[in-house]
Amino acid sequence: MLQVVTSGSGLYGERLAVTLGFITLGLALATFASCRSCLVFLGRFGMKAPLETRGYRVFYRFHGYYWSLFVFALVLHFMTVLMHTGFPAAGDPNGPAHWLILSLGLGSLALAGTVLASCRSLVGLVKLFAEKGPLSSSAYRVFHRYHSYYWIALVLLIAGHFVSAYSHTGFWP
């Protein structure tokens, strides 16, 4: 009989989860930096026309790939964390910290799905398999209109997740 251990992987599991967290954070930043919403934010901070530079145009072109890698790393990070800590049990001295980190992480995971669902990269993928793209629906266009605000909320949740995890484990466990 196969038994799956979901907690107690020790320091190795914690370091693997932290390493995957940093990789996921880097890919989230790459995904955001290559998004059209980021261009709007850059414009508000005085950086006009970043697409005029060749380097940024090349970086910007791979937005869909960054999304794929980000989602993959996010799922791996989430699975590793659950295998390391499991769901905090009653009487766990680190239970409140683990619940806070897990709650912010689950919120980030759900919001990342929302950001992806409202992204033009996903619209292009759906068009490959469907006759009409999602932008032909007025309800989806309203949902898509708030893509930048979903990013702001996701960045805030990721920051909260990072700060709470840092305050619990430090930079490196």
Residue 120: what pLDDT? Answer: 82
Q: What are phi and psi of 49, to 5 degrees?
A: 55, 55
pLDDT for position 9: 58
How many other C-beta atoms are found inside a 10 Å radius of the C-beta of residue 122? 16
pTM over 0.85: no
Higher pLDDT, 126 or 142: 142
Estimate to the nearest angstrom the gap between the alpha carbon of 106 and the chain centroid.
Answer: 10
Question: 17, 80 in Cβ contact below 8 A?
Answer: yes
Q: Minimal CA–CA distance to 105: which of 163, 66, 64, 149?
A: 163
Q: What is the pLDDT of residue 159?
A: 96
Residue 117 pLDDT > 80, yes or no?
yes
Report how far apart, in Å, the C-alpha atoms of 16 and of each of 21, 81, 104, 141 are: 8, 9, 19, 39
- The pLDDT assigned to 114 comes to 95
Predicted confidence at residue 2, as pLDDT, reads 40
Domain chopping of the chain, boundaries: 10-86+95-169
Q: Tens of pLDDT along 76-116?
A: 999 998 888 788 888 888 889 989 999 999 999 999 999 99
Give the residue carrying structure tokens 């769901």: 87
Q: How far is CA 71 from the centre of its chain?
A: 7
Structure confidence at residue 8 (pLDDT)? 52
Question: What percent of the chain has a predicted confidence (pLDDT) above 90?
Answer: 43
